[in-house]
Chain A
Amino acid sequence: MKFKAMTAIAALVAAPLTAVAGPDEDNLVVNGEIEMVTTTDAPAHLQDTFDTIYSGWHFRSDETQALQMDDFENPAMVFVDQAQEMWDTVEGSEGKSCASCHEDVAESMKGVRAVYPKWNEAAGEVRTLSMQINACREDNMGADPFKYDSAQMAAMESLISVQSRGMPVNVAMDGPAAETWEQGKEIYYTRFGQLELSCASCHELNYGNMIRADHLSQGQINGFPTYRLKNAKLNTVHGRFKGCIRDTRAETFAPGSPEFVALELYVATRGNGLSVEGPSVRN
């Protein structure tokens, strides 16, 4: 066990937090019907690193976990309701809503979240779900794009994610996406900031340990967008990346930047096999 010493110290500091050593063994079933895979074998490309990958859900307290187990307990769902209204609202110069082309979101968006970010052949680039939402708004609706990590974007992404809950993340890293994936991998292992921390420093080498009073997860993004208790709103993947890199005391990349798109692609593939959970609830 690589984290014994630090865990022992953390356990002394936060003695009543008994489950500090690694992920817990609870099962996540949402609304008593959607069974989530939150623990599974690491995907092939990670097998030299991890045997098992864990959803961030396993690293949270029982009270926080419970908030995600029922859609009426999960505060994110009120924003999903708002996004459903946006879905049906005509915007822009073309007189269209999302529903004009995609009709029932529950039908048309089933499985979509699970495969994004994804190579877009026509555009010749890897696109995140947010980029695709904005491409639709600009090119097809003639509407203004959402700000990349705005509340509206997080809500729309959550509405789309809900349609894939329980399905395994299955993001492609090969073929035309391979180059972007390699860029993302390089960023993941690059130490940033005055603290000289890479993503791997916390989420690969020290997951399960306490960083002060916080329980470090594997940094999986299958639960995004995520409602955080800290700021009581939906948070996008890029918003979280930005916060993490800022905490290393570095200049961060911007949400929607090519660097964060590449990083999202890479991090998403580290969670291949976990269930889509978004919108989840985290600390």
Chain B
Amino acid sequence: MEFTRRDTLGLALGAAALTVLPYRVHAAGEEAIQAFTGGAELKEGGVQLTAPEIAENGNTVPIEVSAPGASAIMVLALGNPTPGVATFNFGPLAASQAASTRIRLAGTQDVVAIAKLEDGSFAKASSTVKVTIGGCGG
């Protein structure tokens, strides 16, 4: 692959845009949280997020969320192109306010769980998941 002057300039601009990108992604995450909580304060404790410290493959990362008494738990992957993952709404016949699933992570990042608790307050838990880059495309 050969680069022309114009390509190189384009790459430089792209790189400049990339350095700005995290703020934009962060903003999308903030918006999702705002929409879910209405801007309420997020306390620590009351919600638990279980995720592997290292994911062998970012395509399929097992996670579990749990928040006793919660009516809903929202999960966000703040480093993904779009931060939303899922919102679990628990009905009257949920035996526990807990669920497991498998998610996609675009790279090493913080996964966040926010629970709407029984008393209407909100709690937050987060976990850093390192995503390894494979050796063999195979």
Contacts and interface: CB of A to CB of B under 8 A. Distances in A.
A in complex with B: yes
Interface of A: 14, 16-17, 60-64, 66-67, 210-214, 216, 228-232, 240, 243-244, 246-247, 283
Interface string B76-111: 000000000000000000000000000000000000
A61 B54 contact: yes
Which 8 pairs, one residue from A and one from B, show the smallest C-beta to C-beta distance? A214-B135, A212-B135, A211-B135, A213-B132, A243-B138, A229-B57, A229-B60, A61-B56
Interface SS of chain B: loop
A213 B133 contact: yes
B138 A63 contact: no
A62 B54 CA distance: 10
Interface of B: 52-57, 59-62, 130, 132-138
B54 A229 contact: no
Contacts of B62: 63, 66-67
Contacts of A244: 136, 138
Contacts of B57: 64, 229-230, 283
Contacts of A214: 132, 134-136
Contacts of A67: 62
Contact of B134 (A60, A64, A213, A240): A213
B56 A16 contact: no
Given A63-B61, A211-B135, A212-B135, 5 more contacts: A61-B56, A64-B56, A213-B133, A213-B135, A232-B60
A212 B134 contact: yes
Nearest to A211: B135
A216 B52 CA distance: 21
B138 A16 contact: no
B59 A230 contact: yes
A67 B59 CA distance: 14
A231 B58 CA distance: 11
Contacts of A228: 138
B21 to A, nearest CB: 24
A229 B130 contact: no
A16 B53 contact: yes
A14 B132 contact: yes
A214 B137 CA distance: 10
